[in-house]
Protein backbone atom coordinates (compact mmCIF):
# COMPACT_ATOMS: atom_id res chain seq x y z
CA UNK A 1 0.00 0.00 0.00
CA UNK A 2 2.85 2.32 0.80
CA UNK A 3 4.04 1.77 -2.75
CA UNK A 4 0.68 2.59 -4.32
CA UNK A 5 0.90 5.24 -7.00
CA UNK A 6 4.60 4.81 -7.75
CA UNK A 7 4.15 2.78 -10.93
CA UNK A 8 5.25 5.67 -13.15
CA UNK A 9 8.75 5.32 -11.69
CA UNK A 10 9.34 2.29 -13.92
CA UNK A 11 9.91 4.61 -16.89
CA UNK A 12 12.63 6.58 -15.09
CA UNK A 13 16.20 6.47 -16.37
CA UNK A 14 17.81 9.42 -14.62
CA UNK A 15 17.67 11.61 -11.52
CA UNK A 16 18.36 15.30 -11.06
CA UNK A 17 19.27 16.11 -7.48
CA UNK A 18 19.28 19.44 -5.74
CA UNK A 19 22.30 19.65 -3.44
CA UNK A 20 21.96 21.96 -0.43
CA UNK A 21 19.16 20.60 1.73
CA UNK A 22 19.19 17.24 -0.09
CA UNK A 23 22.79 16.02 0.11
CA UNK A 24 23.91 18.23 3.00
CA UNK A 25 22.82 21.05 5.27
CA UNK A 26 24.73 24.32 5.13
CA UNK A 27 26.67 24.91 8.30
CA UNK A 28 29.40 26.82 10.01
CA UNK A 29 32.33 25.07 8.33
CA UNK A 30 30.69 24.42 4.98
CA UNK A 31 28.08 21.79 5.68
CA UNK A 32 27.03 18.55 7.28
CA UNK A 33 25.90 15.56 5.15
CA UNK A 34 22.27 14.52 5.58
CA UNK A 35 22.12 10.98 7.00
CA UNK A 36 21.98 8.34 4.28
CA UNK A 37 22.53 10.72 1.36
CA UNK A 38 26.11 9.68 0.47
CA UNK A 39 25.03 6.04 0.47
CA UNK A 40 21.97 6.96 -1.62
CA UNK A 41 24.20 8.55 -4.28
CA UNK A 42 26.29 5.35 -4.41
CA UNK A 43 23.15 3.22 -4.75
CA UNK A 44 21.83 5.39 -7.61
CA UNK A 45 25.10 4.92 -9.48
CA UNK A 46 25.22 1.18 -8.81
CA UNK A 47 21.67 0.80 -10.13
CA UNK A 48 22.60 2.11 -13.59
CA UNK A 49 20.34 5.16 -13.26
CA UNK A 50 21.92 8.34 -14.53
CA UNK A 51 22.53 11.11 -12.05
CA UNK A 52 23.17 14.85 -12.33
CA UNK A 53 23.31 17.46 -9.58
CA UNK A 54 21.30 20.56 -10.40
CA UNK A 55 22.20 23.41 -8.05
CA UNK A 56 21.88 27.18 -7.78
CA UNK A 57 25.16 27.31 -5.84
CA UNK A 58 27.13 30.43 -6.84
CA UNK A 59 29.50 30.93 -3.93
CA UNK A 60 32.20 28.67 -5.36
CA UNK A 61 33.49 27.28 -8.64
CA UNK A 62 32.22 23.81 -9.54
CA UNK A 63 35.70 22.48 -8.83
CA UNK A 64 35.66 23.76 -5.27
CA UNK A 65 32.07 22.77 -4.79
CA UNK A 66 32.83 19.20 -5.86
CA UNK A 67 35.91 19.13 -3.62
CA UNK A 68 33.67 20.02 -0.69
CA UNK A 69 31.11 17.34 -1.62
CA UNK A 70 33.81 14.68 -1.98
CA UNK A 71 35.24 15.63 1.42
CA UNK A 72 31.77 14.95 2.83
CA UNK A 73 31.80 11.49 1.27
CA UNK A 74 29.82 12.08 -1.96
CA UNK A 75 31.07 10.26 -5.05
CA UNK A 76 30.57 13.16 -7.48
CA UNK A 77 32.63 14.55 -10.36
CA UNK A 78 32.65 18.06 -11.83
CA UNK A 79 30.85 16.88 -14.98
CA UNK A 80 27.98 15.69 -12.81
CA UNK A 81 27.20 19.24 -11.61
CA UNK A 82 24.93 21.68 -13.45
CA UNK A 83 25.34 25.15 -11.93
CA UNK A 84 24.36 28.68 -12.98
CA UNK A 85 27.82 30.15 -13.65
CA UNK A 86 28.81 27.82 -16.52
CA UNK A 87 25.30 28.22 -17.97
CA UNK A 88 25.70 32.00 -17.77
CA UNK A 89 29.08 31.77 -19.52
CA UNK A 90 27.46 29.92 -22.44
CA UNK A 91 24.71 32.54 -22.64
CA UNK A 92 27.22 35.42 -22.55
CA UNK A 93 29.23 33.84 -25.34
CA UNK A 94 26.18 33.15 -27.51
CA UNK A 95 25.01 36.74 -27.27
CA UNK A 96 28.35 38.54 -27.35
CA UNK A 97 27.82 39.91 -23.84
CA UNK A 98 30.71 41.25 -21.76
CA UNK A 99 29.76 41.11 -18.08
CA UNK A 100 30.44 43.29 -15.12
CA UNK A 101 30.48 40.74 -12.29
CA UNK A 102 28.83 41.31 -8.94
CA UNK A 103 29.46 37.82 -7.54
CA UNK A 104 31.23 36.03 -4.73
CA UNK A 105 35.04 36.24 -4.97
CA UNK A 106 35.25 32.45 -5.12
CA UNK A 107 33.03 32.34 -8.23
CA UNK A 108 35.14 34.73 -10.32
CA UNK A 109 37.39 31.97 -11.82
CA UNK A 110 34.30 30.48 -13.57
CA UNK A 111 34.33 33.60 -15.78
CA UNK A 112 38.06 33.46 -16.56
CA UNK A 113 37.49 32.84 -20.27
CA UNK A 114 34.89 35.57 -20.69
CA UNK A 115 35.76 39.02 -22.07
CA UNK A 116 34.93 41.47 -19.30
CA UNK A 117 36.26 44.68 -20.87
CA UNK A 118 33.83 47.54 -21.51
CA UNK A 119 30.85 45.69 -19.98
CA UNK A 120 27.48 45.60 -21.73
CA UNK A 121 25.65 43.61 -19.07
CA UNK A 122 25.72 42.90 -15.33
CA UNK A 123 25.91 39.38 -13.91
CA UNK A 124 24.57 39.17 -10.38
CA UNK A 125 25.26 36.17 -8.14
CA UNK A 126 25.02 35.62 -4.42
CA UNK A 127 27.88 38.03 -3.78
CA UNK A 128 27.50 37.81 0.03
CA UNK A 129 30.06 40.17 1.62
CA UNK A 130 30.57 41.73 -1.81
CA UNK A 131 27.04 43.17 -1.58
CA UNK A 132 28.39 46.51 -0.38
CA UNK A 133 26.78 49.93 -0.90
CA UNK A 134 29.64 50.87 -3.25
CA UNK A 135 29.42 47.67 -5.31
CA UNK A 136 25.64 47.90 -5.65
CA UNK A 137 25.86 51.53 -6.78
CA UNK A 138 28.59 50.60 -9.26
CA UNK A 139 26.50 47.80 -10.80
CA UNK A 140 23.49 50.13 -10.89
CA UNK A 141 25.40 52.94 -12.64
CA UNK A 142 26.72 50.58 -15.28
CA UNK A 143 23.23 49.21 -15.94
CA UNK A 144 21.43 52.56 -16.05
CA UNK A 145 24.15 53.87 -18.38
CA UNK A 146 23.54 51.11 -20.95
CA UNK A 147 21.39 51.85 -23.95
CA UNK A 148 19.56 48.60 -23.30
CA UNK A 149 20.35 47.38 -19.77
CA UNK A 150 20.89 43.61 -19.50
CA UNK A 151 20.82 42.13 -16.01
CA UNK A 152 21.57 38.42 -15.63
CA UNK A 153 20.80 36.91 -12.24
CA UNK A 154 22.29 33.59 -11.14
CA UNK A 155 19.12 32.41 -9.43
CA UNK A 156 16.37 34.41 -7.77
CA UNK A 157 16.25 32.97 -4.26
CA UNK A 158 14.75 35.14 -1.54
CA UNK A 159 16.94 34.06 1.34
CA UNK A 160 18.79 31.12 2.82
CA UNK A 161 19.92 29.96 6.21
CA UNK A 162 23.44 29.81 7.55
CA UNK A 163 24.51 28.89 11.04
CA UNK A 164 24.77 32.56 11.99
CA UNK A 165 21.27 33.29 10.71
CA UNK A 166 19.20 34.00 7.62
CA UNK A 167 20.82 35.87 4.74
CA UNK A 168 19.27 37.80 1.86
CA UNK A 169 19.81 35.83 -1.34
CA UNK A 170 20.56 37.04 -4.86
CA UNK A 171 16.87 37.50 -5.71
CA UNK A 172 16.48 40.36 -3.26
CA UNK A 173 19.37 42.30 -4.82
CA UNK A 174 18.03 41.43 -8.27
CA UNK A 175 14.73 43.09 -7.34
CA UNK A 176 16.56 46.20 -6.11
CA UNK A 177 18.40 46.62 -9.43
CA UNK A 178 15.30 45.73 -11.47
CA UNK A 179 13.32 48.48 -9.76
CA UNK A 180 16.04 51.10 -9.94
CA UNK A 181 16.71 50.50 -13.65
CA UNK A 182 13.17 49.55 -14.68
CA UNK A 183 14.43 46.31 -16.26
CA UNK A 184 13.55 42.66 -15.89
CA UNK A 185 16.45 40.37 -15.04
CA UNK A 186 17.08 37.19 -17.00
CA UNK A 187 17.41 34.37 -14.48
CA UNK A 188 20.00 31.66 -15.13
CA UNK A 189 19.51 28.84 -12.63
CA UNK A 190 16.51 27.09 -11.17
CA UNK A 191 13.55 27.60 -11.76
CA UNK A 192 14.38 28.76 -15.31
CA UNK A 193 13.19 26.24 -17.90
CA UNK A 194 16.32 26.65 -19.97
CA UNK A 195 18.48 25.75 -16.97
CA UNK A 196 16.58 22.52 -16.33
CA UNK A 197 16.88 21.73 -20.03
CA UNK A 198 20.68 22.10 -19.78
CA UNK A 199 20.71 19.78 -16.79
CA UNK A 200 18.60 17.22 -18.66
CA UNK A 201 20.93 17.45 -21.68
CA UNK A 202 23.89 16.78 -19.39
CA UNK A 203 21.93 13.94 -17.76
CA UNK A 204 21.25 12.57 -21.24
CA UNK A 205 17.62 11.70 -20.50
CA UNK A 206 14.36 13.31 -21.73
CA UNK A 207 12.14 15.05 -19.15
CA UNK A 208 9.50 12.31 -19.04
CA UNK A 209 12.18 9.78 -18.01
CA UNK A 210 13.71 11.96 -15.29
CA UNK A 211 12.84 12.84 -11.70
CA UNK A 212 13.92 16.00 -9.90
CA UNK A 213 14.45 15.61 -6.16
CA UNK A 214 14.68 18.83 -4.15
CA UNK A 215 13.77 20.63 -0.95
CA UNK A 216 12.52 23.87 -2.56
CA UNK A 217 8.86 23.71 -3.51
CA UNK A 218 9.07 26.54 -6.06
CA UNK A 219 12.59 26.44 -7.50
CA UNK A 220 13.10 22.66 -7.53
CA UNK A 221 9.66 21.09 -7.72
CA UNK A 222 7.74 23.79 -9.60
CA UNK A 223 10.58 24.50 -12.00
CA UNK A 224 11.11 20.84 -12.89
CA UNK A 225 7.40 20.21 -13.40
CA UNK A 226 7.21 23.21 -15.76
CA UNK A 227 9.80 21.35 -17.78
CA UNK A 228 7.75 18.17 -18.07
CA UNK A 229 9.55 16.25 -15.32
CA UNK A 230 8.13 14.55 -12.26
CA UNK A 231 9.43 16.02 -9.01
CA UNK A 232 9.69 14.83 -5.41
CA UNK A 233 10.02 17.10 -2.42
CA UNK A 234 12.22 15.89 0.43
CA UNK A 235 11.30 16.82 3.99
CA UNK A 236 14.87 17.99 4.71
CA UNK A 237 16.69 21.29 4.18
CA UNK A 238 14.41 24.28 3.72
CA UNK A 239 11.26 22.12 3.56
CA UNK A 240 8.52 23.43 5.83
CA UNK A 241 5.20 21.69 6.58
CA UNK A 242 3.39 24.73 5.13
CA UNK A 243 4.91 23.83 1.73
CA UNK A 244 2.36 21.01 1.57
CA UNK A 245 -0.37 23.65 1.22
CA UNK A 246 1.41 25.63 -1.49
CA UNK A 247 -1.22 27.42 -3.60
CA UNK A 248 0.39 26.63 -6.96
CA UNK A 249 2.87 23.77 -6.74
CA UNK A 250 2.17 20.18 -5.75
CA UNK A 251 5.03 17.63 -5.89
CA UNK A 252 4.36 14.25 -7.47
CA UNK A 253 5.21 12.80 -4.06
CA UNK A 254 6.81 13.64 -0.73
CA UNK A 255 9.68 11.63 0.74
CA UNK A 256 11.30 12.02 4.12
CA UNK A 257 14.76 12.31 2.63
CA UNK A 258 16.91 11.30 -0.31
CA UNK A 259 17.60 7.85 1.11
CA UNK A 260 13.87 7.08 1.24
CA UNK A 261 13.39 8.41 -2.29
CA UNK A 262 16.10 6.08 -3.57
CA UNK A 263 14.64 3.12 -1.64
CA UNK A 264 11.27 3.62 -3.28
CA UNK A 265 12.62 4.28 -6.76
CA UNK A 266 14.95 1.28 -6.78
CA UNK A 267 12.16 -1.00 -5.60
CA UNK A 268 10.16 -0.07 -8.69
CA UNK A 269 12.88 -0.73 -11.24
CA UNK B 1 -0.98 84.85 -24.94
CA UNK B 2 1.76 83.39 -22.76
CA UNK B 3 -0.63 83.71 -19.82
CA UNK B 4 -3.48 81.92 -21.57
CA UNK B 5 -4.81 79.04 -19.53
CA UNK B 6 -3.56 80.25 -16.16
CA UNK B 7 -6.88 81.67 -14.98
CA UNK B 8 -7.33 78.89 -12.42
CA UNK B 9 -4.38 80.29 -10.48
CA UNK B 10 -6.64 83.06 -9.12
CA UNK B 11 -8.16 80.59 -6.64
CA UNK B 12 -4.76 79.64 -5.21
CA UNK B 13 -3.93 80.48 -1.60
CA UNK B 14 -0.90 78.33 -0.92
CA UNK B 15 2.09 76.60 -2.54
CA UNK B 16 3.76 73.30 -1.73
CA UNK B 17 7.35 73.23 -2.94
CA UNK B 18 9.62 70.29 -3.48
CA UNK B 19 13.13 71.17 -2.34
CA UNK B 20 15.99 69.27 -4.03
CA UNK B 21 15.88 70.16 -7.73
CA UNK B 22 13.56 73.13 -7.10
CA UNK B 23 15.33 75.27 -4.50
CA UNK B 24 18.80 73.82 -4.95
CA UNK B 25 20.78 71.14 -6.75
CA UNK B 26 22.50 68.47 -4.68
CA UNK B 27 26.24 68.80 -4.86
CA UNK B 28 29.58 67.90 -3.37
CA UNK B 29 29.38 70.11 -0.28
CA UNK B 30 25.62 69.92 0.23
CA UNK B 31 24.13 71.82 -2.67
CA UNK B 32 24.02 74.89 -4.87
CA UNK B 33 20.94 77.17 -4.94
CA UNK B 34 19.08 77.28 -8.26
CA UNK B 35 19.25 80.82 -9.66
CA UNK B 36 16.29 82.96 -8.59
CA UNK B 37 14.86 80.43 -6.12
CA UNK B 38 15.76 82.21 -2.88
CA UNK B 39 14.26 85.43 -4.23
CA UNK B 40 11.19 83.47 -5.39
CA UNK B 41 10.63 82.17 -1.83
CA UNK B 42 10.81 85.75 -0.50
CA UNK B 43 8.32 86.94 -3.13
CA UNK B 44 5.86 84.14 -2.25
CA UNK B 45 5.97 85.17 1.39
CA UNK B 46 5.62 88.89 0.59
CA UNK B 47 2.56 88.13 -1.56
CA UNK B 48 0.60 86.68 1.35
CA UNK B 49 0.45 83.20 -0.25
CA UNK B 50 1.07 80.42 2.21
CA UNK B 51 4.11 78.22 1.65
CA UNK B 52 5.18 74.78 2.82
CA UNK B 53 8.15 72.70 1.69
CA UNK B 54 7.21 69.09 0.96
CA UNK B 55 10.32 66.92 0.74
CA UNK B 56 11.34 63.26 0.83
CA UNK B 57 14.69 64.23 2.38
CA UNK B 58 15.72 61.61 4.95
CA UNK B 59 19.46 62.14 5.25
CA UNK B 60 19.16 64.81 7.96
CA UNK B 61 16.83 66.03 10.70
CA UNK B 62 14.55 68.89 9.72
CA UNK B 63 16.63 71.18 11.94
CA UNK B 64 19.83 70.43 10.05
CA UNK B 65 18.05 70.50 6.73
CA UNK B 66 16.67 73.99 7.46
CA UNK B 67 20.09 75.15 8.67
CA UNK B 68 21.49 74.10 5.28
CA UNK B 69 18.72 75.89 3.38
CA UNK B 70 19.16 79.08 5.42
CA UNK B 71 22.92 79.00 4.75
CA UNK B 72 22.03 78.95 1.04
CA UNK B 73 19.90 82.06 1.49
CA UNK B 74 16.40 80.55 1.83
CA UNK B 75 14.09 82.19 4.38
CA UNK B 76 12.62 78.96 5.76
CA UNK B 77 11.73 77.78 9.28
CA UNK B 78 11.46 74.23 10.62
CA UNK B 79 7.65 74.47 10.80
CA UNK B 80 7.57 75.15 7.06
CA UNK B 81 9.04 71.71 6.24
CA UNK B 82 6.97 68.54 5.81
CA UNK B 83 9.30 65.53 5.74
CA UNK B 84 8.86 61.75 6.02
CA UNK B 85 10.53 61.14 9.39
CA UNK B 86 8.16 63.24 11.52
CA UNK B 87 5.21 61.78 9.58
CA UNK B 88 6.55 58.29 10.29
CA UNK B 89 6.89 59.12 13.99
CA UNK B 90 3.20 60.10 14.13
CA UNK B 91 2.24 56.86 12.37
CA UNK B 92 4.38 54.76 14.72
CA UNK B 93 2.79 56.41 17.76
CA UNK B 94 -0.76 56.00 16.45
CA UNK B 95 -0.26 52.31 15.84
CA UNK B 96 1.91 51.44 18.82
CA UNK B 97 4.79 50.42 16.56
CA UNK B 98 8.36 50.17 17.87
CA UNK B 99 10.77 50.54 14.96
CA UNK B 100 14.09 49.03 14.12
CA UNK B 101 15.74 51.87 12.18
CA UNK B 102 17.73 51.35 9.00
CA UNK B 103 18.29 55.03 8.23
CA UNK B 104 21.04 57.59 7.81
CA UNK B 105 22.94 58.33 11.04
CA UNK B 106 21.95 61.99 10.78
CA UNK B 107 18.23 61.10 10.77
CA UNK B 108 18.28 59.08 13.98
CA UNK B 109 17.56 62.09 16.28
CA UNK B 110 14.13 62.50 14.63
CA UNK B 111 13.17 59.22 16.32
CA UNK B 112 14.50 60.19 19.76
CA UNK B 113 11.04 60.14 21.38
CA UNK B 114 10.01 56.81 19.87
CA UNK B 115 10.24 53.54 21.81
CA UNK B 116 12.65 51.36 19.90
CA UNK B 117 12.90 48.42 22.30
CA UNK B 118 11.83 44.98 21.09
CA UNK B 119 11.00 46.18 17.54
CA UNK B 120 7.77 45.17 15.83
CA UNK B 121 8.43 46.98 12.55
CA UNK B 122 11.31 48.17 10.37
CA UNK B 123 11.66 51.79 9.23
CA UNK B 124 13.75 52.13 6.10
CA UNK B 125 15.14 55.48 4.96
CA UNK B 126 17.89 56.43 2.55
CA UNK B 127 20.54 54.94 4.81
CA UNK B 128 23.35 55.57 2.29
CA UNK B 129 26.61 54.16 3.75
CA UNK B 130 24.51 52.36 6.35
CA UNK B 131 23.17 50.09 3.57
CA UNK B 132 25.71 47.40 4.43
CA UNK B 133 25.30 43.65 3.88
CA UNK B 134 25.18 43.16 7.65
CA UNK B 135 22.58 45.90 8.24
CA UNK B 136 20.36 44.67 5.42
CA UNK B 137 20.50 41.10 6.74
CA UNK B 138 19.69 42.37 10.23
CA UNK B 139 16.62 44.31 9.04
CA UNK B 140 15.54 41.29 6.98
CA UNK B 141 15.87 38.85 9.91
CA UNK B 142 13.84 41.09 12.18
CA UNK B 143 11.10 41.42 9.56
CA UNK B 144 10.92 37.74 8.63
CA UNK B 145 10.81 36.88 12.32
CA UNK B 146 7.71 39.01 12.95
CA UNK B 147 4.32 37.33 13.05
CA UNK B 148 3.05 40.07 10.72
CA UNK B 149 6.03 41.90 9.20
CA UNK B 150 5.56 45.70 8.98
CA UNK B 151 7.95 47.57 6.71
CA UNK B 152 7.70 51.37 6.60
CA UNK B 153 9.66 53.08 3.83
CA UNK B 154 10.49 56.78 3.94
CA UNK B 155 9.89 57.33 0.23
CA UNK B 156 10.26 54.93 -2.67
CA UNK B 157 12.67 56.75 -4.98
CA UNK B 158 14.62 54.65 -7.46
CA UNK B 159 17.86 56.65 -7.49
CA UNK B 160 19.25 60.14 -7.24
CA UNK B 161 22.29 61.99 -8.44
CA UNK B 162 25.20 63.23 -6.38
CA UNK B 163 28.35 64.84 -7.66
CA UNK B 164 30.20 61.53 -7.52
CA UNK B 165 27.49 59.76 -9.51
CA UNK B 166 24.08 58.12 -9.29
CA UNK B 167 23.11 56.36 -6.07
CA UNK B 168 20.46 53.73 -5.41
CA UNK B 169 17.65 55.32 -3.41
CA UNK B 170 15.52 53.87 -0.61
CA UNK B 171 12.97 52.38 -3.04
CA UNK B 172 15.49 49.87 -4.36
CA UNK B 173 16.25 48.54 -0.88
CA UNK B 174 12.54 48.56 -0.09
CA UNK B 175 11.97 46.25 -3.07
CA UNK B 176 14.71 43.90 -1.87
CA UNK B 177 13.11 43.53 1.57
CA UNK B 178 9.59 43.32 0.13
CA UNK B 179 10.63 40.42 -2.09
CA UNK B 180 12.61 38.58 0.57
CA UNK B 181 9.81 38.83 3.15
CA UNK B 182 6.84 38.69 0.77
CA UNK B 183 5.40 41.89 2.25
CA UNK B 184 4.31 45.22 0.83
CA UNK B 185 5.96 48.26 2.37
CA UNK B 186 3.92 51.20 3.59
CA UNK B 187 5.41 54.33 2.05
CA UNK B 188 5.56 57.49 4.14
CA UNK B 189 6.57 60.43 1.94
CA UNK B 190 5.71 61.51 -1.57
CA UNK B 191 3.79 60.21 -3.54
CA UNK B 192 1.65 58.82 -0.67
CA UNK B 193 -1.71 60.59 -0.47
CA UNK B 194 -1.61 60.74 3.28
CA UNK B 195 1.73 62.54 3.17
CA UNK B 196 0.42 65.24 0.84
CA UNK B 197 -2.60 65.56 3.11
CA UNK B 198 -0.29 66.22 6.07
CA UNK B 199 1.55 68.85 4.06
CA UNK B 200 -1.75 70.51 3.09
CA UNK B 201 -2.88 70.48 6.73
CA UNK B 202 0.35 72.20 7.71
CA UNK B 203 -0.10 74.62 4.82
CA UNK B 204 -3.62 75.30 6.08
CA UNK B 205 -5.16 75.27 2.61
CA UNK B 206 -7.47 72.74 0.90
CA UNK B 207 -6.14 70.88 -2.14
CA UNK B 208 -8.15 72.83 -4.70
CA UNK B 209 -6.53 76.06 -3.48
CA UNK B 210 -2.96 74.74 -3.49
CA UNK B 211 -0.30 74.15 -6.16
CA UNK B 212 2.52 71.63 -5.89
CA UNK B 213 5.73 72.65 -7.66
CA UNK B 214 8.30 69.91 -8.20
CA UNK B 215 10.86 68.38 -10.53
CA UNK B 216 9.72 64.74 -10.16
CA UNK B 217 6.97 63.81 -12.60
CA UNK B 218 5.74 60.83 -10.56
CA UNK B 219 6.41 61.63 -6.92
CA UNK B 220 5.70 65.39 -7.00
CA UNK B 221 3.32 65.98 -9.89
CA UNK B 222 1.47 62.66 -9.99
CA UNK B 223 1.23 62.38 -6.21
CA UNK B 224 -0.16 65.90 -5.78
CA UNK B 225 -2.69 65.49 -8.57
CA UNK B 226 -3.93 62.25 -6.95
CA UNK B 227 -4.67 64.42 -3.93
CA UNK B 228 -6.78 66.89 -5.88
CA UNK B 229 -4.11 69.57 -6.26
CA UNK B 230 -2.83 71.23 -9.41
CA UNK B 231 0.86 70.59 -10.03
CA UNK B 232 3.60 72.29 -12.04
CA UNK B 233 6.78 70.60 -13.19
CA UNK B 234 9.93 72.72 -13.23
CA UNK B 235 12.56 72.07 -15.87
CA UNK B 236 15.33 71.95 -13.25
CA UNK B 237 16.73 69.18 -11.02
CA UNK B 238 15.91 65.68 -12.20
CA UNK B 239 13.54 66.93 -14.94
CA UNK B 240 14.25 65.27 -18.29
CA UNK B 241 12.63 66.19 -21.63
CA UNK B 242 11.28 62.62 -21.85
CA UNK B 243 9.13 63.41 -18.77
CA UNK B 244 6.91 65.44 -21.12
CA UNK B 245 5.85 62.17 -22.75
CA UNK B 246 5.12 60.36 -19.50
CA UNK B 247 2.47 57.69 -20.17
CA UNK B 248 0.44 58.41 -17.05
CA UNK B 249 1.18 61.81 -15.56
CA UNK B 250 0.67 65.22 -17.18
CA UNK B 251 1.44 68.35 -15.15
CA UNK B 252 -1.06 71.21 -15.23
CA UNK B 253 1.78 73.26 -16.71
CA UNK B 254 5.54 73.32 -17.21
CA UNK B 255 7.74 76.18 -16.01
CA UNK B 256 11.43 76.66 -16.61
CA UNK B 257 12.15 77.07 -12.90
CA UNK B 258 10.64 78.18 -9.61
CA UNK B 259 11.29 81.87 -10.35
CA UNK B 260 9.22 81.66 -13.53
CA UNK B 261 6.45 79.79 -11.71
CA UNK B 262 6.26 82.55 -9.10
CA UNK B 263 6.29 85.27 -11.78
CA UNK B 264 3.31 83.70 -13.50
CA UNK B 265 1.38 82.93 -10.31
CA UNK B 266 1.82 86.40 -8.83
CA UNK B 267 0.71 88.05 -12.07
CA UNK B 268 -2.62 86.21 -11.80
CA UNK B 269 -3.41 87.22 -8.23
pLDDT recorded at residue B246? 95
**Percent of chain A scoring above 90 in pLDDT:** 90
Cβ distance A168 to B137 less than 8 Å, yes or no, reads yes
Q: How many angstroms away from the CA of A140 is the closest CA of chain B?
A: 7
Does B49-201 match B206-263 in CATH topology? yes
Q: Which of residues 123-152 of B touch A (CB under 8 A)?
A: 128-129, 131-133, 136-137, 140-141, 144
Report yes or no: A126 and A132 within 8 Å, Cβ to Cβ.
no
Nearest to B133 among A131, A176, A181 (CB): A131
Measured from the Cβ of residue B170, the count of other Cβ atoms closer than 10 Å reads 30
pLDDT recorded at residue A1? 36
CATH number of A49-201: 3.40.50.1000
ipTM field: 0.90
Q: Which of residues 82-111 of B touch A (CB under 8 A)?
A: none
**What would you measure as the largest C-alpha separation in chain B, in angstroms?**
62
Q: Which of B131, B133, B167, B171 to mutate to test the interface with A (most CBs of A within 10 A)?
A: B133
| Mean pLDDT in consecutive groups of 10 residues from the start of chain B, 269 residues | 74 96 82 95 98 96 96 97 96 97 97 97 97 98 96 94 87 98 96 95 97 96 97 94 95 97 95
pLDDT recorded at residue A3? 53
Task: Please determine, for residue A27, whether its predicted confidence score (pLDDT) is greater than 70.
Answer: no
Q: Which residues of B fall within a CB distance of 8 Å from A173?
A: 176
Peptide bond into B191 cis (omega under 30): yes
What is the SS3 assignment for A213? strand
pLDDT recorded at residue B28? 59
pTM, two decimal places? 0.91
Cβ distance B165 to A131 less than 8 Å, yes or no, reads no
- Distant-in-sequence, close-in-space partners of B172: CB < 8 Å, separation ≥ 6: A140, A176, A177, A179, A180, B158, B159
**Residue ranges of domains in chain A:** 49-201, 206-263
pLDDT recorded at residue B1? 37
CATH class as words, domain A206-263: alpha beta
Report yes or no: A26 and A162 within 8 Å, Cβ to Cβ.
yes
Q: Which residues of B fall within a CB distance of 8 Å from A157?
A: none
Task: Give how far Cα B127 sits from Cα of B57, B117, B165, Å.
Answer: 11, 20, 17
Average pLDDT over residues A65-72: 96
pLDDT recorded at residue A31? 84
Task: Please determine, for residue A160, whether its predicted confidence score (pLDDT) is greater than 90.
Answer: no
Amino acid sequence: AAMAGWGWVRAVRGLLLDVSGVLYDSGADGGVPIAGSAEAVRRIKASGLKLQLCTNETQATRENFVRKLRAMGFDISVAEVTAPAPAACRLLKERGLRPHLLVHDDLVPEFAEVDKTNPNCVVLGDAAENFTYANLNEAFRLLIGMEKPVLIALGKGRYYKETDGLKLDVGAYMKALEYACDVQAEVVGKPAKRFFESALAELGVPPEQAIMIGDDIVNDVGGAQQCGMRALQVRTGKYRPSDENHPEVKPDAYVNNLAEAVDIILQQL
